[in-house]
């Protein structure tokens, strides 16, 4: 049986490169040679064990991380019709059971027996030479979309779901809290959705500058400016129509409730290491805003791939560092150290199938 190298997480803090059997594609399955994997804050939170879903026992060890990836088809199982060797592909973040009523209706994200790729109840992710995926969860990369951008589709799709659930419309004023990849991508996608002005907040000048270079209208450095002060000067009523909370900070989540116009909306697209103590329910009720949850990228791959193929979204602009795939065990433990300008670290695997 052929083997492969994989980076396995055996417990929080215990990540090792091991040799394990290379998965064999069964019927309707595709074996993919990993080309790119984006390192994600979620990977870090699972590695350290600080994620609430690690503490709750929803992450089973050992697992292979990696849910932001692009790959080259290596081998197809019986009955696969849409892909052949060498095709460039990306995959869903969930692998559904394929048999329940929701699956039979094609509503895979609602399958309650789904496994999440590289996270909760994991289907083994892309921190490995190969990843196995059912054909139904794969998307072809259109020719103009690079492998780098392919690995950025998942965070971009998650950001787009946040923009759409916040109901961003032409002319809206928008504030995005947080200048990580999801925050910057959400701000860009709000702009592409027709927002009149998009603000982004953060604490690192170098990341905010990159956000401005990416086409965001205004950056607020919260280490020296007050968000409400800036909004009072720049938008009617001192509040925005739509707010996207992508910072993962309980304090910013609470403050954000006061920054949205009555009738506006706030979407939450982050994970928090603790419950929102201090959440003032009465103040929320009086605010007359809509609060919506964004757990992932549901159904948003096709519009992101269209934007990328049309040249309207180059998410690879947010890649600030590159490293070989198997350097992940050295990099992940230090992902938050010296992270002044770090936005997305891209791991590089194979460029060609069978390489
Ligand atoms: Zn991610
Ligand atoms: Zn199912």
Summarised one tens digit per residue, pLDDT across range 113-166 is 999 999 999 999 999 999 999 999 999 999 999 999 999 999 999 999 999 999
Q: Yes or no: say if 187 and 324 are a contact pair by the CB < 8 Å rule.
A: no
For 3-144+311-348, CATH gives 3.90.180.10
Q: Where does the chain hold its CATH 3.40.50.720 domain(s)?
A: 156-293
Ligand at shortest distance from the CA of 65:
1
Q: What angle do CA 206, 179, 295 make, to 5 degrees?
A: 160
Could you give the C-alpha distances from 281 to 27, 240, 252, 276, 278, in angstroms and in order?
51, 20, 16, 11, 9
Compute the half-sphere exposure of residue 119: CA atoms within 13 Å on the CB side of its CA: 23
pLDDT higher than 80, residue 195? yes
- Protein residues within 5 Å, CB atom, of ion ligand 1: 40, 42
Q: Yes or no: say if 209 and 340 are a contact pair by the CB < 8 Å rule.
A: no
Residue 293 sits at φ, ψ, to 5 deg, of -105, 140
Q: How confident is the model at residue 353 (pLDDT cuts 50, 70, 90)?
A: low
Q: Across the chain, which distance is largest between two alpha carbons, in Å?
A: 66
| Contacts of residue 323, Cβ cutoff 8 Å, sequence gap at least 6 | 331, 345, 346, 347, 348
The single residue listed with the structure tokens 């993962």 is 248
DSSP 204-270: -HHHHHHHHHTT-SEEEETTTS-HHHHHHHHSGGG-EEEEEE-S--HHHHHHHGGGEEEEEEEEE-S
Instruction: Pull the structure tokens for residue 226.
Output: 């007050």
Which helix (H) or strand (E) segment holds residue 314: the answer is none
CA of 158 to the centre of ligand 1 (A): 9
Rounded Cα distance, 82 and 142, in Å = 14
Q: How confident is the model at residue 284 (pLDDT cuts 50, 70, 90)?
A: very high
- Which sign does the torsion angle of CA 321, 348, 216, 180 carry? negative
CA of 115 to the centre of ligand 2 (A): 10
Ligand at shortest distance from the CA of 104:
2
Query: What is the DSSP code (8-state) at residue 68?
Result: S
CA of 30 to the centre of ligand 1 (A): 22
Work out the average pLDDT over 325-331: 97
CA of 186 to the centre of ligand 2 (A): 30
CA of 80 to the centre of ligand 2 (A): 19
Query: What is the DSSP code (8-state) at residue 124?
Result: P
CATH topology of domain 156-293: Rossmann fold (3.40.50)
Q: Where does the chain hold its CATH 3.90.180.10 domain(s)?
A: 3-144+311-348
pLDDT higher than 70, residue 318? yes
CA of 111 to the centre of ligand 2 (A): 4
CA of 44 to the centre of ligand 1 (A): 10
Summarised one tens digit per residue, pLDDT across range 208-266 is 999 999 999 999 999 999 999 999 999 999 999 999 999 999 999 999 999 999 999 99
Q: Yes or no: say if 109 and 147 are a contact pair by the CB < 8 Å rule.
A: no
CA of 350 to the centre of ligand 1 (A): 21
Ligand at shortest distance from the CA of 106:
2
Ligand at shortest distance from the CA of 117:
1
pTM (predicted TM-score): 0.95
CA of 248 to the centre of ligand 1 (A): 13
């Amino acid at each position: 049986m052929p083997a492969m190298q994989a980076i396995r997480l055996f417990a929080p803090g215990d990540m090792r490169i091991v040799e394990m059997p290379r998965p064999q594609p069964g019927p309707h399955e595709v074996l993919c040679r990993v080309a790119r994997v984006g390192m994600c804050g979620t990977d870090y939170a699972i590695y350290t064990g600080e994620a609430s879903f690690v503490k709750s026992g929803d992450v089973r060890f050992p697992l292979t991380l990696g849910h932001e990836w692009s790959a080259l088809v290596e081998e197809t199982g019986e009955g696969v019709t849409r892909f052949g060797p060498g095709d460039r592909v990306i995959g869903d973040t969930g692998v559904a059971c394929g048999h329940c009523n929701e699956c039979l209706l094609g509503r895979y994200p609602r399958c309650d027996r789904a496994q999440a790729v590289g996270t909760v109840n994991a289907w083994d992710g892309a921190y490995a030479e190969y990843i196995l995926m059912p054909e139904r969860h794969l998307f072809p990369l259109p020719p103009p979309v690079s492998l780098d951008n392919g690995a950025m589709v998942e965070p971009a799709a998650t950001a787009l779901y946040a923009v759409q659930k916040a109901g961003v419309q032409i002319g809206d004023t928008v504030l995005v809290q947080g200048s990580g990849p999801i925050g910057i991508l959400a701000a860009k996608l709000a702009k592409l959705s027709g927002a009149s002005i998009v603000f982004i907040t953060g604490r690192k000048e170098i990341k905010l500058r990159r956000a401005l270079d990416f086409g965001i209208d205004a950056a607020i450095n919260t280490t020296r400016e007050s968000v409400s002060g800036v909004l009072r000067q720049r938008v009617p009523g001192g509040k925005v129509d739509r707010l996207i909370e992508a910072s993962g900070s309980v304090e910013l989540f609470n403050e954000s409730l006061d920054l949205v116009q009555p009738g506006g909306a706030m979407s939450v697209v982050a994970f928090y290491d603790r419950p929102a103590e201090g959440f003032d329910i009465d103040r929320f009720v009086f605010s007359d805003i809509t609060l919506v949850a964004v757990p992932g990228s549901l159904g948003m791959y096709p519009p992101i791939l269209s934007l990328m193929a049309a040249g309207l979204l180059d998410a690879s602009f947010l890649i600030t560092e590159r490293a070989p795939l198997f350097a992940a065990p050295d990099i992940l433990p230090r992902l938050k150290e010296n992270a002044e300008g770090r936005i997305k670290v891209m791991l590089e695997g194979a460029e060609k199938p069978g390489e």
